[in-house]
Structure 1
């Protein structure tokens, strides 16, 4: 039996481990933290995306549309809470209507079930919404991705996988056809290495001897929540029409499984790869970012006015609420409270462009998932199949 080592215990690593186990490999999963899903998986918006935003034919488009189906099916089979509630993407001004039409066309190209609706029809879904037109996306869902991970851990344990918490990869070397991964407690030897380390995926790739084509640059996404007595302003999910010239979707409103309503996230540079708070700073992480040419080229492209606007919104509750009020005018600064943050591992290319698609790179006996931002959690089982195809092709 072939052995595989998977580095990273988020939803991608655990899904890959399950897929490899089902294909007959014995799998060891190494997670540096003391719990599963400790970082991106456990700090995201818990939305199962439909796949309408992504370039037709791209990995993101293909894997997210399929992933929407497989993630919902897995949740229903294994008792994980999920609600296929749909969402509204709303144009709040006439100049956004052409972008909304383009988005509807992209949804058709990707095979995403959607309906263009009038403002009156939009208010049947969301009575408090303000728009001049909207797109109803029928297959968007909300879920508990951490619960998905708990179900995967249970399945892997039953299947005999070796699951190790508190086991960071300290060094990696290839000896003949075998790959050795040193952890604080043991050296794990296997035939195949799969890197699903998320925020540290480029570092793990370098440990393994690769020169990855992208550098991970962390962006913190900050959330607010509607106060309990104002949750009735939002029934489901309300998103703005994205600006295709910008790298992120913009703040939106999401009703969660427990009835709470989250608002956000924004996108500001994090000063540490696991920098969930503004005061979290790593001078080592900053040095890596500031000595990478792509960082400065990205800053030249987006720092003003886009980046500056994001920073001001981060610092001003009033500005954050004003952006939400473009979607739901009744929202005021008094209606929202801060509600934590997540950090997105964004792969930045040397020319300053953000890697637009999922990025998977290979070496003999190795597969490295180097860029897996949203909709990666949605697409976890499809990414796992894609990675496993590469692993088994080597075998």
Structure 2
């Protein structure tokens, strides 16, 4: 059977994209190809569950706009489908005086983006969060928490009811594009489609190359390791506790996160994963590791961030070092409080010059659109990202004419 559209990837971006197509072009036949046996088993189902406010992003940028729209869209979806969520708010805590200038700049950035950002003194922080210490903080009330895995599975159920076919265990290994359409191979399966949108996450660069694109980046997997606090610490914070970001570091840093399940996690760090699905230290794929280590963009990234990279690795191997990062905010935590919790993998696009791609990367062929990099806050922004993608697809694939026909 031939479809109007094939979507590669059953994460939240791929599912939201299919949902937007069914909403705006209900006459199109859609198939989703997912390599696992269920949706949302990787980045979507293993992230921190935060509904981000967008305070970190340049005011007026696409990322800032999509994030702000995403807060509203995610909460509306939860209300419409009776899914649990909570807008508990986020505290961005300065733990030393040297961070106060960066905190002030972040405050101005948040206000410029139209966010409800409140600046707190050390005493005001302590009054709201008795277990947290800092020299000052910003409070953003719109930040929330949700279970993105549950949200994605709800989307998948909705899509099936709308007639969308989801093929599980479909690992795409070849793509042939001709003027009439595409033939997508997944083992013994052959799927024909007029058009394709790839939302392949950690495999985005490989799928793009299979589709004939010449790329200027590569996906490098970074493992984010979390701990979960014991049940006696479930009420240790009332809000999310985040650091003031350091622009000299590639990643945000460890934070305390209330989860929708009622517990609190600590993390994540960011260490190189030795496999694209390398959730444990001992998970090694020779192909994945060789691709990473031989890529000049990765070697340049390491050269620029050697000190922070070694520090992250040490914190990964030494639980007491990891604890010390937590104690900057919450000095009463002990090593016994840090209990195992599932890690996640961040699909990070690294450019050839060694810089991280912090914005969305989208590439096209005549018959396909590839979401090559969808960094955080992609889960928060999934529904408005889908709108942007389908705006592009409608023009690129001339769907309006196709639907009328």
1: distance between equivalents of 2:58 and 2:316?
A: 29
Deviations 1:203-240 (A, max 9, x none): 00000101122200000000011111123322221011
**Equivalent in the alignment of 1:267:** 270
Secondary structure in 2 aligned to 1:327? Answer: coil
**Equivalent in the alignment of 1:114:** 117
**Aligned counterpart for 2:102 among listed residues 88, 99, 103:** 99
Contact 1:233 1:328 in 2 (8 A): no
Q: What TM-score, normalized to structure 2?
A: 0.95
Mean Cα displacement is larger for which, 151-160 or 52-61? Answer: 52-61
Deviations 1:107-159 (A, max 9, x none): 11222221111122222321111011100011000000011111111111111
2: distance between equivalents of 1:109 and 1:212?
A: 35
Q: Where does the alignment leave 5 or more consecutive residues of structure 1 unmatched?
A: none
Deviations 1:272-310 (A, max 9, x none): 00000000000100111122110110010001x111110
Pairing 1:163-242 to 2, within 5 Å after superposition:
163-242=166-245
Secondary structure in 2 aligned to 1:57? Answer: coil
Pairing 1:255-334 to 2, within 5 Å after superposition:
255-303=258-306, 305-334=307-336
Runs of 4+ that moved beyond 3 A = none
Q: What TM-score, normalized to structure 1?
A: 0.97
**Equivalent in the alignment of 1:380:** 382
Contact 1:58 1:357 in 2 (8 A): no
Secondary structure in 1 aligned to 2:279? Answer: coil
Contact 1:314 1:320 in 2 (8 A): yes
Secondary structure in 2 aligned to 1:9? Answer: coil
Contact 1:358 1:371 in 2 (8 A): yes
1: distance between equivalents of 2:217 and 2:309?
A: 21
Alignment of 1:36 onto 2:17 = no
Alignment of 1:142 onto 2:145 = yes
Pairing 1:3-42 to 2, within 5 Å after superposition:
3-24=4-25, 25-42=28-45
Q: CA deviation at 1:382?
A: 1.0
**Aligned counterpart for 1:156 among listed residues 155, 159, 171:** 159
Contact 2:358 2:375 in 1 (8 A): no
- Equivalenced residue count is 394
Pairing 1:246-261 to 2, within 5 Å after superposition:
246-261=249-264
Q: Where does the alignment leave 5 or more consecutive residues of structure 2 unmatched?
A: 399-405
1: distance between equivalents of 2:199 and 2:381?
A: 14
Contact 2:3 2:192 in 1 (8 A): no
Contact 1:365 1:391 in 2 (8 A): no
2: distance between equivalents of 1:56 and 1:364?
A: 33
**Equivalent in the alignment of 1:358:** 360
Q: CA deviation at 1:2?
A: 7.4
